[in-house]
A and B are shown apart, each in its own frame.
Chain A
Amino acid sequence: MKKNLNLLSIVFLAFTMNAYAQESNNPIDTLAAYVQKMNTTVTNQSKLKISGYIQFQFQKADTLGINSFAGGNFDAKTDNRFNVRRGRVKFAYAGTLSNYVLQFDVTEKGLGIKDAYMNFTDSWLQAFTVTGGVFNKPFGYEIAYSSSQRESPERARFTQTLFPGERDLGAMLTFQMPKASPWNFFKIDAGLFAGNGTNPEFDKKKDFIGRVGIVKLTPNEKIKYSFGLSYYNGGVYQGSVNTYKIWEDNGVKTFFKTPIGTDTIGSFQKREYKGFDAQITIETVIGLTSLRGEYVMGIQPGQSKTSTSPTTDFTKVTAPATAPDTYIRNFKGGYIYFVQSISHTPITLVVKYDFYDPNTKINGNNIGLTTTGAKVSTAADLKYTTLGLGAILAVSNNVKITAYYDMVKNESSSNLTGFRKDLKDNVFTLRIQYKF
């Protein structure tokens, strides 16, 4: 009797929940129709995925007000700070062979857009994907490697300098065969980008960025290895009348105006990077061991006090004298990670070494020297190396705690005030991340 009552209750509930499923008088049909409708709703809703993470951290620097690549410069009166380093919310809708992605970054500094792009894949080979919008530049490995997964709190100094924000506005074509294909290991990304980061486009020139890479596993699945070659060929709008390059005169290496320096407004200074990256993960008795490395070299048009390319719109400057001069530098940079997970524990240890030499044509005491008619080289020409040591505790699939110590070493020059010796600018970071 009780069972019958329960059955009746379920049937009644089904009827009341779906007033429109009345075509059949059979309660089972009604229930089936309701379940079908629910199933369709759930399937549609599951196409929209919301994910995100928050990184809250405490940092302690060696001295007050240091310039730092460990999450930004410290304020003048501060050698320790709390901050929300990243607060990401990502909305991704996966349609048929297509995706729509919006990602925001919400911190105490405000709201910023990180990603806004769509992509679609051809239905025939399912190998060609077109992506358009604001998204990660397809260069190297570290740019696309999510900050929520990365073992070091920040990307390498050269990545932050050459690719601030990691994203750009553009269109990209990707070739990669579907997962089931034996050629899935091979991937090509090639795109044209505005070259101004996430800023609106203001000049006519597009930057080409591309990467060719492979990812392979050994047959016993104990070793995973991958590598890639990247290339960037673009230009930076010349808003000033002056362009400077390093030359040597009377034993002094410094910046001299280029011969065509007086008529370069409106032209584009070449921005060219070549990169190689490789990664390997090996499973051993002590856990997973990963080695990742990247090396980049090239030509970078920057400014006197920074080697970062300007992203400001100088096309509308009416008085060229107010636009900053361009300083052309040959650079090289790289990093290597050693990551060791400890078997049967949620602990991972990391050692990272990175270097960035923004100006390979000048070093040591030449930096800061000048001569008649030349421009002096600055702290933007100093080479930096950073050795980072860290430990990560994955508390759960949501929570991760990272303790990390950055030991920063700068090139010194007796001719550069403030940089006659290595600065005290090491930073300790204690970060807690919640990811969903």
Chain B
Amino acid sequence: MKRVIISVIALAFAINGQAQRIKGSDTMLPLSQKEAESYMKTNSTFKVTVTGGGSGVGIAALIDNTTDLAQSSRKIKMDEKIKLQESGVTYKEVIAAYDALAVVVNPNNGVSQLTREQLEGIFIGKIKNWKEVGGDDAKIIVYSRETSSGTYEFFKEHVMNKKNFANDVLSMPATGAIIQSVSQTKGAIGYVGLAYLDKSVKAIKVSYDKGKNYVEPSMVNAKNKTYPVVRPLYYYYSTKVENKVKPYLDFVLSAEGQKIVESVGYVPLK
């Protein structure tokens, strides 16, 4: 009996020793899940758990030592760096993939393209009706992510020129909720990662040169860098767990891992 108990404890330690916790960005959730599934298939003793919550949540977990890898769709902030230093966490950053951010509307919406300036106007609440941008006479209903989301911050910085979202913007807890809401609401508009695009919503072509050229959010356009709203996706980890997380990160960065990146709808590094 004693031998059985010791074996169980040893097994638990062995499994726990390999178990990796990944937490953070909802944008990266499908990517990490798929990578983890494939990674675990390469070795039955490898165990990876993946949870979302937002980039800020993932980095907070890294500070609190409740995750091994923080997944983030934005770069780490100064305040987070200060907290990591105070917590004695020396960290490393790895870019795992790129993500193109797509602006989506209801499929029944006649508008198919918008300039960056028009998008800014819509999201700050200056443009309130679709007819102002060539659409039907209908109220624009704006969906956004919560403030803890890296996607929220990237969109605000790169599309809205750091201007503030309108007060009546509806904040959604996850990207899936934006897809669902936009697909069910005729006058809706929102933004999601390329990987989340499906037929229930329509992706808008975007112009960053004041209407001269409109580019569709697609894998091809993201890879050839003609689509302008592209951002890196990061993993952050403490150097104390480098040995533990390195095999997983090596897998993500390998040719096989990067194939998965593309298959899930993200842009591979090369």
Binding site for B on A (CB under 8 A): 149, 179-182, 217, 221-222, 224, 281, 283, 287-288, 341, 344-346, 348, 393-397, 399-400
The answer to whether A180 and B88 touch (CB under 8 A), given A283-B81, A288-B81, is no
Residues of the A chain whose Cβ atoms lie less than 8 Å from the Cβ of B86: 149, 394, 400
Contact A221 B88 (CB under 8 A): no
Q: Which of B86-125 contact A (CB under 8 A)?
A: 86-90
Residues of the B chain whose Cβ atoms lie less than 8 Å from the Cβ of A217: 78
Query: In the assembled complex, how far is the CB of residue B149 from the closest CB belonging to chain A, in whole angstroms?
Result: 11
Chain B facing A: main interface SS: loop
Residues of the A chain whose Cβ atoms lie less than 8 Å from the Cβ of B82: 281, 288
The answer to whether A394 and B78 touch (CB under 8 A), given A180-B164, A180-B165, is no
Contact B85 A396 (CB under 8 A): no
Query: In the assembled complex, how far is the CB of residue B147 from the closest CB belonging to chain A, in whole angstroms?
Result: 5
Q: Does B199 contact A (CB under 8 A)?
A: no
Residues of the B chain whose Cβ atoms lie less than 8 Å from the Cβ of A348: 85
Query: In the assembled complex, how far is the CB of residue B72 from the closest CB belonging to chain A, in whole angstroms?
Result: 14
The answer to whether A224 and B87 touch (CB under 8 A), given A182-B164, A397-B63, is no
Query: In the assembled complex, how far is the CB of residue B141 from the closest CB belonging to chain A, in whole angstroms?
Result: 19
Contact B147 A224 (CB under 8 A): no
Residues of the B chain whose Cβ atoms lie less than 8 Å from the Cβ of A283: 78, 81
Contact B90 A346 (CB under 8 A): yes
> What are 18 A-B contacts with C-beta separation under 8 Å?
A149-B86, A179-B147, A180-B147, A221-B75, A224-B79, A281-B78, A288-B85, A344-B239, A346-B88, A348-B85, A394-B85, A394-B86, A394-B87, A394-B88, A394-B89, A395-B88, A396-B88, A400-B88
Query: In the assembled complex, how far is the CB of residue A183 from the closest CB belonging to chain B, in whole angstroms?
Result: 9
Cα distance A149–B86 in the bound complex, in angstroms:
7
Contact B164 A345 (CB under 8 A): no
Query: In the assembled complex, how far is the CB of residue B152 from the closest CB belonging to chain A, in whole angstroms?
Result: 9
Of A217, A344, A346, A348, which is in contact with the most chain B CB atoms at under 10 Å from its CB? A346
Knowing that A348-B85, A397-B89 touch, tell me 11 more A-B residue pairs with CB under 8 angstroms. A221-B75, A222-B78, A344-B90, A346-B90, A393-B88, A394-B87, A396-B87, A396-B88, A397-B64, A397-B87, A399-B88
Q: Does B139 contact A (CB under 8 A)?
A: no
Query: In the assembled complex, how far is the CB of residue B43 from the closest CB belonging to chain A, in whole angstroms?
Result: 24
Query: In the assembled complex, how far is the CB of residue A184 from the closest CB belonging to chain B, in whole angstroms?
Result: 10
Cα distance A395–B162 in the bound complex, in angstroms:
38
How extensive is the interface on chain B, given as a class? 20 to 34
Residues of the B chain whose Cβ atoms lie less than 8 Å from the Cβ of A396: 65, 87-88
Cα distance A396–B89 in the bound complex, in angstroms:
7
B131-161 Cβ-contact flags toward A at 8 Å (1 or 0) = 0000000000000000100000000000000
Binding site for A on B (CB under 8 A): 63-65, 75, 77-79, 81-82, 85-90, 147, 162-165, 239
Residues of the A chain whose Cβ atoms lie less than 8 Å from the Cβ of B75: 221
Residues of the B chain whose Cβ atoms lie less than 8 Å from the Cβ of A393: 88
Query: In the assembled complex, how far is the CB of residue A147 from the closest CB belonging to chain B, in whole angstroms?
Result: 13
Cα distance A21–B65 in the bound complex, in angstroms:
37
Contact A181 B164 (CB under 8 A): yes
Residues of the B chain whose Cβ atoms lie less than 8 Å from the Cβ of A182: 162-164
Query: In the assembled complex, how far is the CB of residue B24 from the closest CB belonging to chain A, in whole angstroms?
Result: 17
Task: Look across to chain B and name the residue whose beta carbon is closest to the beta carbon of A345.
Answer: B90
Query: In the assembled complex, how far is the CB of residue A35 from the closest CB belonging to chain B, in whole angstroms?
Result: 16
Residues of the A chain whose Cβ atoms lie less than 8 Å from the Cβ of B239: 344
Residues of the B chain whose Cβ atoms lie less than 8 Å from the Cβ of A399: 88
Query: In the assembled complex, how far is the CB of residue B187 from the closest CB belonging to chain A, in whole angstroms?
Result: 23
Task: Look across to chain B and name the residue whose beta carbon is closest to the beta carbon of A400.
Answer: B88
Query: In the assembled complex, how far is the CB of residue A370 from the closest CB belonging to chain B, in whole angstroms?
Result: 50
Task: Look across to chain A and name the residue whose beta carbon is closest to the beta carbon of B156.
Answer: A180
Cα distance A283–B82 in the bound complex, in angstroms:
10
Query: In the assembled complex, how far is the CB of residue B162 from the closest CB belonging to chain A, in whole angstroms?
Result: 8
Query: In the assembled complex, how far is the CB of residue B89 from the closest CB belonging to chain A, in whole angstroms?
Result: 7
Cα distance A314–B164 in the bound complex, in angstroms:
54
Task: Look across to chain B and name the residue whose beta carbon is closest to the beta carbon of A346.
Answer: B88
Query: In the assembled complex, how far is the CB of residue A431 from the closest CB belonging to chain B, in whole angstroms?
Result: 15
Residues of the A chain whose Cβ atoms lie less than 8 Å from the Cβ of B89: 346, 394, 397
Cα distance A217–B81 in the bound complex, in angstroms:
13
Residues of the B chain whose Cβ atoms lie less than 8 Å from the Cβ of A224: 78-79
Cα distance A345–B84 in the bound complex, in angstroms:
11
Residues of the A chain whose Cβ atoms lie less than 8 Å from the Cβ of B90: 344-346
Task: Look across to chain A and name the residue whose beta carbon is closest to the beta carbon of B146.
Answer: A180
Cα distance A224–B77 in the bound complex, in angstroms:
10
Contact B78 A221 (CB under 8 A): yes
Of B64, B88, B89, B90, which is in contact with the most chain A CB atoms at under 10 Å from its CB? B88
Residues of the A chain whose Cβ atoms lie less than 8 Å from the Cβ of B79: 224
